[in-house]
Structure formats: C-alpha cells, structure tokens
A = this chain, B = another copy of it.
C-alpha cells in the first residue's frame, strides 16, 4: 500500500492491490454474514472508497456477493477452497471411517492437519452426545492445546516441534500445557502409545483422545480425535476405537 502510493508503476500497484484484495477476503470471520463497506473499511484499515471499488471487482469475479448494500464471501470461494485441500484424498478416504467412529462413540470426531504452530480442521462430525465445541471445519487452533495437534507433533520431525515451542505455548485454558519440558515429555509418551489425550487444555469441560495418521515413513500427515464432555466420556475407553480407525486410515492411504 505504501509502495502503491509512492509509485504507480504496474508491478508495485499489483502488489498493493493483491494485499488489499487479500485483506478484504480475510476480513470475514466465523458467524459473519454480510458486512457493510464501513465495517470492512474498519477491519482492513482501507479507505471506504477503496473497499467500495475493490469489492465491486471481487463481486464481478464471484469472490464476493452483494447482499443488499452489504457484502459477503462468494460461494465460488467455497468451491476454490475445496480444491485447496491438498489432502483431498485424505478427507474423502477418511469420511466413512470418521462417520463410523462418530456412530460408535456418539461424540464429535475431528480430522486435522498441522499448519505451522496451529492445526486446521479438515473435517468435523458432531456427535449427538457432544457438547458445543469450538472446533469447526476450516477453523484453526494452537496445536499444543489440542489432542490432534499433540498427536501430530509426536510423530513430526524435531524442527516442527521446535517451531511450536519457539511460539511460546500460549495459555488457551487454565489447563493448557505451557511448559516446553512438560510438552516434550508428553510427546515422548504419545510416541510410545500412539494415542494422545487432551484434558480440558483447549477448553474447560472438554476432553479428547487423538491418534495420528502416519505415512510410510512413520511421519504424521494428519490426526483424528474423538472429543466430548469431561463428565460424559471416558477417553481411555474410546482410545482403542480412535487408534484402530487411525491405523486403518493410515493403511488405506498408503
């Protein structure tokens, strides 16, 4: 943006426009429906005239849609977004197995991958007995505070774990593991057992049991979990079902 204001040559203008377009798309949050131009300007820090003009362009290409005078993300982004899951085969292969796991446990089943220091949920199947959890498809969560995150980290190269530790292990709930030494010990145990537990570390009242999806080299490409209310599920009892499903999925993918 700074560059664009100093210099109108095509390539630096491109960079500024790309930054503004990306900011507009990233301005939407879960639960938002349509946002007005003023709100988008406030969230992106862009002038209202820019928001107005750029949103017109995005609307032309289906990336935004008009809703009266407000704007919302275009369904075309959903279509493109589905193609962005490079583990599309993973999601498709996992789906029936996850549905079985949900059916067998009546709780909420997750499939997630690691992106930097966070997990991204590729699939969430809510169970009839599960409490409302913060996880949602496409949502992110700090890896160290989740069962799926710890399951993946336990079967990841050292550099990956180091990156997470260097992020400082932010406290998400009062039970989040914030000590690097403690996290490393727990990862070693998970590596031994093939199963990761999360005990109210992401949100008080919720527990989960997770297991990694491993490639032929034994590295985690993803993890699955079953999560539920601390008062209603026994994670140790669900562990064999989660582990079995993860092993079956790992085998199927190879």
Contact = CB atoms under 8 A, between A and B. Distances in A.
Q: How many copies does the complex hold?
A: 2
A32 B128 contact: no
B79 A73 contact: no
Contacts of A139: 79, 82
A21 to B, nearest CB: 6
A141 to B, nearest CB: 12
A219 to B, nearest CB: 17
Interface stretch (A55-63, A187-195, A220-228): A55-63
Interface in A14-35: 14-15, 17-22, 25-26, 28-30, 32-33
A81 interface: yes
Interface on chain A toward B: helix, strand, loop, or mixed SS? helix
A127 interface: yes
A69 interface: no
A84 B95 contact: no
Interface in A56-99: 57-58, 60-63, 72-86, 88, 92, 95-96, 99
